[in-house]
Chains A and B, each alone.
Chain A
Amino acid sequence: MPTVSPAVSGVGHYVPERIVTNDELAPLLGTTADWILHKSGIRERRFAAPGQTNAHLALQASRQALASAGLEPDALDMIVVATLSPDHFFPGVSAALQAGLGVTRPIPAFDLHAQCSGFLYGLGVAQGFLLSGRYAHVLLVGSELQSTGLDLSARGREVSMLFGDGAGAMVLSQRAEGGQRPFVVELFADGRFARELWMEAPGASLPAHRLTPEDIQSGRCFPVMEGKNLILHASRKLAQAARAAVERAGLTLGQVDWIVPHQANLHLLTALERALGVPADRVLKHISSVGNTSAASIPIALSEAMASGKIRPGHRILLLGFGSGFTWGGCLFEY
């Protein structure tokens, strides 16, 4: 009996139609378009339309991924949604997505909360279930609706200039080829740094209905970060994850065709290229056009590159994620 390994059988992505340029955002943030570009490398991002939900973004990306895999929704055995911006505390985006897709079988569906590393963590989860042999097809989605939770004032400019909305999806399937092709996932976390990038409210630990007018006034309901520390941590940890993944796969960085890092900030991507000693043209970057889409950034970049033919079957891909927690990780696979 051949051993089973996971394979990427389909990808898809969706970003909302509304483009928010630096020119539009800068006056709200009390700065200039050039300042945003200089600090982040971002020229524009997408914001969801009023009434558009996280689950709606996830649904569009998932339909595309299923079509790309040639599968009907009822062929799925599991749905995992990585997000830090769920529509509700509970149930998860995964519940609305399952219903939206019209899945009639009671397959497991759940959200995964590992912030900007969520898609990497989801790959680890999907790999485990596929290798168990009980699940043949897992739909993994990274989906974020962040625009409704940003502090669009001068106080929030360092964070709010970065983030956008969007979703990326991947269908992972069993492949009976016995480990001929690499698929390794390396995951890490260090909770000592939880408050370097976090959002305090609303939260169950808070008294008085979890969110008060004072929480809004003081900005506790908005994401905050120690940005200058973050880039130092992120560049080192992304490099660590890269080396761990290639080593475990028995490869070298020179044998990787494409590196797809979480699109947090263009300066971070440049720092990562330097840290790894890899040419800039092997690192996928889309941050200038969609901003930082957190758990969705890696699958969106991957889906775009596969759709354009940049990534082709047989290419070795290294995905790298870093986010709040801190959480970070890498996944190396052959497409």
Chain B
Amino acid sequence: MDTREVIRRYLIEHSATPSITTFDEELSLLDQGVLDSFGLVTLVEFLEVRFGLQVADDEIDAVVFSTFHRLCDFVERKQAGRDVTPSRGPTG
């Protein structure tokens, strides 16, 4: 199973809205009720364990996790060893 399919299945199985069986890949996972704030925490734990990633403090940016596509891009770039740090000014 490829990375995107693993993430898709996780999101549906652990959806904050149990009735959800599918979601729009371009829209916010939070707005669609797929994720809630607690779900974000468990999602990051899942990604770290399942894909052997370390999500650093600088990489925690809800925008990254806002849509399925952004989320998958993030994971694939991490797997490829590319920089995923969001730009951040001196005080945020």
Q: Once the chains bind, are B60 and A192 in contact (CB under 8 Å)? A: no
How far does the Cβ of A326 sit from chain B's closest Cβ, in whole Å?
9
Interface segment, one of B4-12, B19-27, B34-42: B34-42
14 A-B contact pairs sorted by A residue (CB < 8 Å): A192-B58, A192-B88, A193-B92, A196-B92, A228-B62, A228-B65, A232-B40, A232-B62, A236-B57, A265-B37, A267-B38, A267-B41, A271-B42, A274-B42
Residues of chain A at interface, number, CB under 8 A: 23
Given A228-B30, A229-B62: A195 touches B41 (CB 8 Å cut-off): no
Give the chain B neighbours of A23 by CB distance below 8 A.
none
Give the chain A neighbours of B62 by CB distance below 8 A.
226, 228-229, 232
Residue of B nearest to A195 (CB): B92
Residue of B nearest to A227 (CB): B37
Q: Once the chains bind, are B91 and A194 in contact (CB under 8 Å)? A: yes
A66 to B45, CA, bound (A): 44
14 additional A-B pairs beyond A265-B37, A275-B45, beta carbons within 8 Å, are A191-B91, A192-B58, A193-B57, A194-B91, A194-B92, A229-B61, A229-B62, A231-B38, A232-B41, A232-B62, A236-B57, A270-B38, A271-B38, A274-B45
Given A194-B92, A195-B92: A231 touches B57 (CB 8 Å cut-off): no
How far does the Cβ of B43 sit from chain A's closest Cβ, in whole Å?
9
How far does the Cβ of B14 sit from chain A's closest Cβ, in whole Å?
13
Q: Does B90 contact A (CB under 8 A)?
A: yes
Question: Which A residues lie at the B interface, using CB under 8 A?
Answer: 39, 190-196, 226-229, 231-233, 235-236, 265, 267, 270-271, 274-275
Residue of B nearest to A230 (CB): B37
Give the chain B neighbours of A196 by CB distance below 8 A.
92
Q: Once the chains bind, are A267 and B92 in contact (CB under 8 Å)? A: no
Q: Does B53 contact A (CB under 8 A)?
A: no
Residue of A nearest to B64 (CB): A229
A267 to B40, CA, bound (A): 11
Residue of A nearest to B44 (CB): A232
Given A229-B61, A232-B44, A233-B60: A192 touches B37 (CB 8 Å cut-off): no
A193 to B58, CA, bound (A): 9
Contact of A232 among B30, B58, B60 (CB under 8 A): B60
